[in-house]
Every structure is written in structure tokens, then in C-alpha cells.
Structure 1
């Protein structure tokens, strides 16, 4: 099984274990099958991976810039959010987003190039006291190790267990230092599926926000206003200021209703195509966006830095496809 298949599989498992309503399960299944179909079609796409014309030294600079931004924010706050969770709400959303955009792909790229210091990033980003970036970073690096070592015949289950085990420790550390027990994870799990149930039942079958919700993932970072998860909370009549996650499907269903399956197909098409990447930087984008997709099973893919990574990956595939078409035309 190729790793992109984990996205629809984990999504359906999440919805089923969360005891979603039959209608929700039916719509979710159609969405998951669209992703699977997209993956298969993407794997059939022929393209030449030239990568992005970015010198390795600039990727190294991006990595250390991400680490520097984390340090800068901690200095500015006068404390470490991991030790004082209440102050994490004072983190700059723009600087935090830049940390994710630069740090995840650069750390994965450097890991693929054999730079052990790349493992510093998941440790550093855990200081923000947010669990999602820790999970994304560890899953991206773990996926990169798994597939790369398998291809090279150097797979060591102990090394993979070490990467994932270290990530689990960081995740639990963030959870407990924030004052949340494991029970809080189960409550969030149930509330996320419940939110999806309400969205499927109350949302317009042709879409409620007509694309505005996902577009808010861009505008909220640039000039403020409702975030996508804020709009989900607004739809659910939750008090102002709250944000709600509603799985990989919730946001796109609120935007386009049953036509969300088209986005599911496009997501699968992207994963199927970019999974054939050979250039180290393109592979870094692949593993980074794959990790966001896996974590997005619960959180959704609704943030500007994540959009940017997907666009870079899609641009690389499209450019490589154009090269193949020109060669075929000669």
C-alpha cells in the first residue's frame, strides 16, 4: 500500500469510530472513494521531475530562519508557551505560519540529505505548545524515512520506531503540559465527528459558503477576520471567538456541498502524481503535504501555509507534465 492511501483510509476510520450518522458516513464514503480514484489517476500521470530551481544553501537558510522565528517569538513573549500555555494565544499568527511553511519542508529535505540536525525542528516547534505542527513534522519525516529506506533496501524498523516514538513523546508532552489529559483528545475526537454530522445535516447540498470558507484560510492570515474554523463555529452557532475542526470533509462540504467530492478527487490526483517525485525538494514537498493530509483528517486542510505547500507541489508536477508533453510532441 502506498502512503497516500492512508488519507482516505484514516478518514473513513475516523468517521466510523466516531459513530457518525448514516448520512454522514455515506457522504464521507463518496468523498473517500473520490480521493482513491484521484490517487489512481494521478499515478498514471507521466511527468518529469525537475524540482524547483532552489539551491540547497537557501533551504538551509529557510530551516534556520524557522528555528530563529521560534526563538524570536519566545523572546518577545518572555516565556515558553510549552511551559506557560496561556501565553500561546499571544503568538503572532503570521510568524507562526511562516515557521510552518519554512520549517516542515526544509527539515524533511535536510533529513533526506542525511542532515541529522533536521530533527531539531519538531523539538523546536513543540515549544509553541500546539500539537498539530509536532504531528505534521514527525509524520513527514517518518514517511520520508519509511519510503526512502524501503527503496534503498536499508529499512530499519528500530529507526522508524525511534522517529515515531520520539514524536509520540513530544505530542504527549505538549498535551500534558497544556493541562489536558488523554481524555481531552477523546472529547475533541467526538466533538469533531459531531460537528461533521451537523454540517452534513444542516448544510446546503449545493454548498453554504460557496468557496468563501476556504478562501478565508488566505484572507484571515493577511488582513484578519474570520478563520475557516471560525466560520465553522459560526455555522454551528458556537460563541464568537471559538474555532471548530470538522474533519477533512467538513470545510469543503460547507463550501460546495456534495460537490466536495470534486475536491476529494483533485486531492487524490495530486497525491497520486507527486508520489512519483524523484527530486529531493519535490519529495520534501510530497512528504510535507502528505503529513498535512493525514493530520488534516481531523483538522481539515484550511490554512495559508498548507495551501502554499500544495501549490508548490502542484506547480512542480504541472511543470514536469508540460516537459513530457513537449517531448512527446517532437
Structure 2
């Protein structure tokens, strides 16, 4: 049996903070990396306009890395804190106690749709900013490679993002197909056969929970791809700044994909935790003369693994968001990157 501690609200947050603290300690012991040098100090006059364009991008990345993680994690923190608020109010002000009676609030689908919805707001801002960034070069730069929308995304980030997205879609489809409607018609229950007395049911990650999350993630994915596409297809400003622009675009792609990965992991972790919780539960049926019999879901033997994996994914998402906040200082810098180091343009 899984310890009741794992099911305590906020447990994944505590795990994430402990892991993040360990990362900070290890980083302190290893020493801080040197701050990269500023670019543009030794450039001539014509390149300074291009440098200002790059500087604006760096400032935007700095602000995005500072604000977006908090916006994404805020709904998760609030939902984790609600049970504690409820307990506090029940003892201090019973009339103000939090309750979620009736339909549709009884089916708290918004818990799983809120993080991707919050991320969608952030990425909508990113899409608008990148769409209005300078698109006309001062000096034409001849590209030597064809740039796709994911040209500046690292293979590792692309693989992790694709795997996380595929896992969530697969989870939503399988869980939704296995779900059953409740008394109000919401597909939010998992039926458990209990013999001739009729099926019992447990709260489950059915269509009532997965469809809103899928819609939010679909919009989020479109904004991510659109933002990366706008940034990738935009021509470079000048040959002298190709290296610095390439570095800025790679940092942009890294920041966007990591925010996307953290959002998916946060939602996927919640889904797996709920699925595992339904599998570890049981439905009791009393038979006169024989006593109480307990029935559980068919996947009860490996349901605890879903619970642990869900906690781990949520903790990993929070750690990734906290690490992203720590990236803001480096993202705000303009490292020197000579044009000849880039393979995107002709020499």
C-alpha cells in the first residue's frame, strides 16, 4: 500500500522544493559559471541598430523566464492549497468553508485544464511579440540551409516535448475510452464490477477531465509551433550579427520548449495521479450473512506505480519551472558569437 503521505495535497510541491534545493546546493559547491561577455561593444555604427534588436529580444527572454513559470505553476499551487484552506476555514469560520457541491463544480475539470490554459496566455503574448519583431534585414543575408519551424530547437528538447505530448494524448484517449458517465452524464467515473449487485464506480480521469485539457494543450501546441515558426523563418538582420541572432533564437526555442514540456508534465502528472488513485481505491459491498467484500479496478496491482509516477512528473515540472526562472540572468545576456560560427548563412 502507498503511504498516505503521497496522497497528501502539496506532496509533489514539497518533493520539487527539496530536489530544487539539492540542485542549488550542488551548484554552489561546483561554483557559478562565468557571465558571458556582452556583445556589441566593439562593433561599428551600422551594426548597433541590429544590436538593439537583439538586446530587445534578450530583455524579453529575461522577463518571460521570470514571469511565465509563475503564471503556469500558479493554478497548480492554488488547487493544491485549497484543501488546506478548506480545513482552516472549517475550524475558524465554518460559514466560509470551501465547498464544491453540485454540477459542474463537482467535476473539477478545471484543475487539469488550468495549467495549459495559463501557459496558453503566456504563449499568446510570445506569439504576438515575435510576430511583430523586425522582419526586414538591413543587409541581405544568404542562407545556406533550409530552416524549418523547429530549426533552432535542440534534438533533446524536441524529443522530450514530443514524447510528453504523445504520452498525454495517449493517456487521455485510453482513460476517456475507459470512463463511464456519472448521474449527471459527465464521463468522470470508472466502473468496477462487483458481481450481481451491479457495478460500483470511482472518480476517474474520463472525458470530463481530459477533453478540456486536450483542448487547452492543442491551442498551446499551435501557439508554440507558430512562435517557433515565426522566429525560424525571419531573416537575419546583418551578416555581422548572425552569430548573436542565432544564439538568441536558440535560447528562445529552448525557453519555449522547456515551458511547454513543464506544462505537459504538470498536466500528465495530475492525470496519472488521478488514474492511480482510482486504481488503489476499492468499492465495498456488504452481503448479509457473509460480511463486507471489497472490489478494486482491474489494474489495481500496478496502480501505485501511476501514483508515484504522477507525483514524480508533477515534481519534475515544478523543478523545471524553477530552473527556468534561474535561467533568466543568462537569457538576458548577449554572448559574443561571431558570424563565422554559424552554419545558417553563406560565408
Q: Same fold (TM over 0.5)?
A: no
Structure with greater proportional helix content: 1
Larger Cα Rg: Structure 1 or Structure 2? 2
With normalisation by structure 1, the TM-score equals 0.27
Structure with greater proportional strand content: 2
